[in-house]
A = this chain, B = another copy of it.
Amino acid sequence: MESAIPDHLVTTRTRHRRVPDDYAPPYPSYVARSATSVRQVVMAYLGLQHDGDDPPPGLLAPIDAALAAADGPGHHDRARGDGETVSIAYWDDPEQFDRWWDAHRDSWLGDGVRDGNGRWAEVLRPTVEEHETLFSSTGRPEGVAVLAEGLSGEVQEHGYWGGMRDRIPLSQTDAMAPVGEPVVERDGGRVRVRPQHAACLIRSGQDWTDTDGAERVMYLEEVEPVLRAGMDFLRDEGSAVGCRTNRYLTVVEDARPVDRTFGMSWWRSLDALERWSESHPTHVAIFGAAMRYLTTTGPSARLRLYHEVSVAAADEQYFEYVDCRPGTGLSGNG
């Protein structure tokens, strides 16, 4: 058993963990372990809006070319949902990202490519103190963990409410309280958002590729509909609980959906995300459905779960929307 906080990020605590030192989690989980040289990562969500499920032919060519160019991301994937196709790209060197963004931003968001389809970028660059990951099983990293050296052994800080916070190294000394509100700055069809301090982003995914038989049926018929209802609540009514935007996306590979989905949501604060997760009827239902599933399938469960959570300072966030639908992301009501 090891701490989710790697040795080189351990500091003298002014704040306690929620569990005692002898806490033993009820099942194993793992976290990504980055090289100690990594100090900050970049997570770029680059969205294209279109009618229907599939993007119009050719519209993703510029971003595909950019992702393959010099200084491109160490890892990227793609997902879609609600008439958006989102490319998600990860760097573990902010300077490399900055060079890449300077070279390719205009091919995505410049005036020269405005064609009526909305395009957007939501980019954050949390330090290693400001983010955490969690995986239910080993062998298939997703998201920022693909950049890491590997996964940890079994970690202690999970399986209880508050584990997410306790896995973020900054929680040793900081409550991560939000300051301010995002400010929308509109210039015609172009919207930028001046960020608040300590906004929180979660990407939380599920991979049912390996399931079959009764387990697959149970996931699709008993878990997924409850998860979807929670995702819809966050999208449509999330502002009441501090969720600024939520997307429930299906991963696509070779332009086809695969058996992997994730929710991606921006929150006013880590605290707001904690409160919804722990006590809102929509997430209590998700938690209950997942618990019944895992209790039924037992240790042989082949559903894979993961998430990554970041709490970023204002100058570590970037939001830009061009010709997007009203209400896209943090862009306000149009």
Contacts and interface: CB of A to CB of B under 8 A. Distances in A.
A2 interface: no
Contacts of A278: 160-161, 278
A274 B161 CA distance: 10
Interface in A247-296: 269, 271, 274-275, 278-279, 281, 284-285, 287-288, 291-292, 295
A159 B279 contact: yes
A16 B281 CA distance: 27
A106 to B, nearest CB: 41
A26 interface: yes
A291 B281 contact: yes
A106 B284 CA distance: 50
Given A18-B18, A288-B285, A288-B288, A279 B162 contact: no
B175 A16 contact: yes
Interface in A1-48: 15-16, 18-20, 23, 26
Nearest to A270: B20
Contacts of A18: 18, 162
Contacts of A281: 291-292, 295
Most buried by B among A23, A284, A292: A284
A15 B13 CA distance: 11
Contacts of A175: 16, 20
A177 interface: yes
Contacts of A177: 20
Given A288-B288, A291-B281, A162 B159 contact: no
A100 B284 CA distance: 47
Given A160-B275, A291-B281, A16 B19 contact: no
A291 B295 contact: no
A226 to B, nearest CB: 11
Contacts of A23: 271, 275
Interface in A155-198: 159-162, 175, 177
A160 B177 CA distance: 17
A23 B161 CA distance: 16
A284 B291 CA distance: 9
Interface in A213-263: none
B20 A271 contact: yes
Contacts of A274: 160
Contacts of A19: 271, 275
B20 A160 contact: no
Interface string A308-320: 0000000000000
A176 to B, nearest CB: 9
Contacts of A279: 26, 159-161
Given A15-B16, A16-B175, A161-B162, 9 more contacts: A18-B18, A18-B162, A20-B175, A23-B271, A160-B274, A160-B275, A160-B278, A281-B291, A288-B288
The 3 closest A-B pairs by CB, nearest first: A161-B161, A288-B288, A161-B278
